């Protein structure tokens, strides 16, 4: 039974909310102000969710939120106010509030927000036990000497304020490394905000980055802060930075230089303090040479470059990674303990994994779902793992494409030929279908 703490200095509101949520099956505690709420939490420990008024004497809602997030970070907090402003909303979201509700609101509305907050909290708790295995530990625990050197450099770079550019093929774990750099940095207690530059149109991405003002375009019904504002004092991670359009490259260059921007449709200059980490699977130097990426922006981003190696270059990690992912997937798919047969393990070890960690994860998940006993056999693995490898005697120049783009093109052509639909091919490659469609168009693949 979830436990709620309702904090409001208006007795009628406090009592009405308490009665409503108790009637909905929640265990509810109340406090008449922020100081009383802190006293209760200090004595009784964390609750699942705190529903607090913004304006209160002594300790206001924002101060209460900051104290809770500092001492009980897993507790969800929703702030309520009759004096809603965009500045207060931005401050609340930056401090870690799940949501910010303007009074008056209906009981059904606040019930929906509370249920959603608790659902997300539950999912986060469930995923936390999997994250080390499924996401972060695979890249951060490595038996590969080049990978260890990369991580040592990343730790050193994290302590600086320098902009970091992560390069490497899709699926190598650049997003995981970016998050870890933030955790190693002096900004770790501040926001970490991720923006994927390849998933949105130019118009939507501009609004997502810089925010917009009411009436700036059709559908802009209220002022909306952007991701860069939300990342103030923290880190922004820009994935697939090479997909920025020329117009957005120009706007973003100004932000990188000045840490300042205007919202779409706005005239006020907003200044922030943000550490920038960018990532790309493209060769940005080649993009600059072809006039597809601004040279001045490239050099602004290319202060410290870390190239994440593909999985085939850290072959000693393949089986340990697969074992970790196997343990996670058995838990996630509610299966008893499984193991790889020697034949399946050998096949995985020999495969080159062009889709890198994403492809490995997909293969392991497929095997967990299809295995009928307690052992994963070769026939539980994807068919593409059984292609004949190139002979060892073949010259290296014949085995390795001239550059990453030609390698990516060849992999996409092969996977498309082996997949019944575009969606299946995208899943094998570890990317979404829209990204695969754009890559097909870019490389002229019919």
Q: Which residues are paired to 81 by β-bridges?
A: 102
One domain, residues 57 and 120: yes
* 362 vs 304: CA distance, rounded Å: 31
Question: ∠ CA 389-395-398 to the nearest 5 degrees?
Answer: 70
Q: Which residues are paired to 29 by β-bridges?
A: 5
Q: Is 396's pLDDT higher than 70? A: no
DSSP-assigned letter for residue 224: B
Task: Note if the pTM is more than 0.95.
Answer: no
Q: What's the pLDDT score for residue 127?
A: 63
Phi and psi at 23, nearest 5°, equal: -65, -20
Report the CATH number at residue 118.
3.40.50.2300
132 assigned to some structural domain: no
Secondary structure of residue 235 in the 3-state scheme:
strand
- Range with lowest mean pLDDT among 131-140, 161-170, 393-402: 393-402
* 52 vs 34: CA distance, rounded Å: 8
Q: What's the pLDDT score for residue 402?
A: 47
Peptide linkage before 326 cis (omega within 30 of 0): no
* Average pLDDT rounded to a whole number, residues 414-420: 79
Q: Is 138's pLDDT higher than 70? A: no
130 assigned to some structural domain: no
Q: Is 186's pLDDT higher than 90? A: yes
One domain, residues 31 and 74: yes
Q: What's the pLDDT score for residue 31?
A: 92
Q: E-assigned strands of 257-410?
A: 260-262, 269-271, 275-280, 304-307, 339-340, 375-376
* 199 vs 248: CA distance, rounded Å: 14
Residue-level length of the chain: 446
One domain, residues 74 and 169: no
One domain, residues 186 and 219: yes
DSSP-assigned letter for residue 133: I
Report the CATH number at residue 220.
3.40.50.300
* 273 vs 315: CA distance, rounded Å: 40
Report the CATH number at residue 342.
1.10.8.60
Place of tokens 């005239």: 267
Of 94, 124, 154, the one marking the end of a domain is 124
Helices H, strands E: what count in the chain? 20, 14
Confidence of residue 277 (pLDDT cuts 50, 70, 90): very high
pLDDT, tens digit, 9 for 90 and up, residues 304-350 = 999 999 999 999 999 999 998 898 888 888 888 999 999 999 999 99
Confidence of residue 126 (pLDDT cuts 50, 70, 90): low
Report the CATH number at residue 430.
1.10.10
Q: Is 399's pLDDT higher than 50? A: no
Q: What's the pLDDT score for residue 400?
A: 44
Residue 231, token pair as written in the block: 């990342």
Radius of gyration for the chain, computed over Cα atoms and rounded to the nearest angstrom:
25
State the residue range of the domain holding 434: 390-446
pLDDT, tens digit, 9 for 90 and up, residues 82-111 = 776 677 777 778 888 888 888 888 898 899
* 22 vs 105: CA distance, rounded Å: 18
One domain, residues 60 and 196: no
One domain, residues 12 and 149: no
Q: Is 115's pLDDT higher than 60? A: yes
């Amino acid at each position: 039974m979830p436990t709620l703490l309702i904090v409001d200095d208006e007795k009628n509101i406090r009592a009405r909310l308490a009665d409503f949520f108790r009637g909905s099956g929640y265990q509810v505690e109340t406090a008449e102000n922020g100081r009383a709420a802190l006293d209760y939490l200090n004595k009784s420990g964390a609750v699942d969710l705190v529903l607090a008024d913004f304006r209160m004497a002594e300790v206001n809602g924002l101060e209460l939120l900051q104290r809770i997030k500092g001492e009980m970070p897993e507790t969800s907090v929703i702030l309520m106010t009759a004096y809603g402003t965009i500045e207060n909303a931005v401050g609340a979201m930056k401090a870690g509030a799940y949501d910010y509700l303007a009074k008056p609101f209906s009981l059904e509305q606040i019930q929906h927000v509370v249920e959603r907050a608790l659902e997300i909290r539950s999912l986060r708790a469930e995923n936390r036990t999997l994250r080390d295995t499924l996401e972060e530990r695979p890249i951060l625990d490595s038996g590969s000497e080049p990978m260890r050197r990369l991580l040592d450099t990343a730790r050193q770079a994290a302590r600086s304020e320098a902009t970091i550019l992560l390069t490497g093929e899709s699926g190598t774990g650049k997003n995981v490394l970016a998050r870890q750099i933030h955790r190693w940095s002096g900004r770790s207690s501040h926001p970490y905000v991720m923006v994927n530059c390849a998933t949105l149109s130019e118009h939507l991405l501009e609004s997502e980055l810089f925010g917009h003002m009411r009436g700036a375009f059709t559908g802009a019904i209220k002022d909306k802060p952007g991701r860069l504002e939300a990342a103030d004092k923290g880190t922004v991670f820009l994935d697939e930075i090479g997909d920025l359009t020329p117009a957005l490259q120009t706007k973003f260059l100004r932000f990188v230089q000045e840490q300042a921007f205007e919202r779409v449709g706005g005239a006020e200059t907003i200044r922030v303090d943000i550490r920038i980490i960018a990532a790309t699977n493209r060769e940005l130097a080649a993009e600059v040479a072809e006039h597809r990426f601004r040279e001045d922006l490239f050099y602004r981003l290319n202060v410290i470059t870390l190239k994440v190696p593909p999985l085939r270059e850290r072959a000693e990690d393949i089986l340990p990674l697969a074992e970790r992912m196997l343990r996670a997937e058995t838990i996630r798919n509610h299966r008893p303990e499984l193991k790889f047969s020697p034949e399946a393990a050998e096949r995985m070890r020999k495969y080159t994994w062009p889709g890198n960690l994403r492809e490995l994860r997909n293969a392991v998940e497929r095997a967990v779902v299809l295995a009928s006993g307690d052992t994963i056999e070769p026939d539980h693995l994807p068919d593409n793992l059984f292609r004949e490898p190139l002979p060892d005697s073949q010259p290296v120049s014949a085995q390795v494409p001239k550059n990453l783009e030609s390698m990516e093109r060849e992999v996409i052509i092969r996977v498309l030929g082996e997949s019944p639909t575009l969606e299946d091919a995208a899943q094998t490659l570890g990317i979404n279908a829209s990204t695969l469609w754009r890559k097909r168009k870019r490389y002229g693949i019919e």
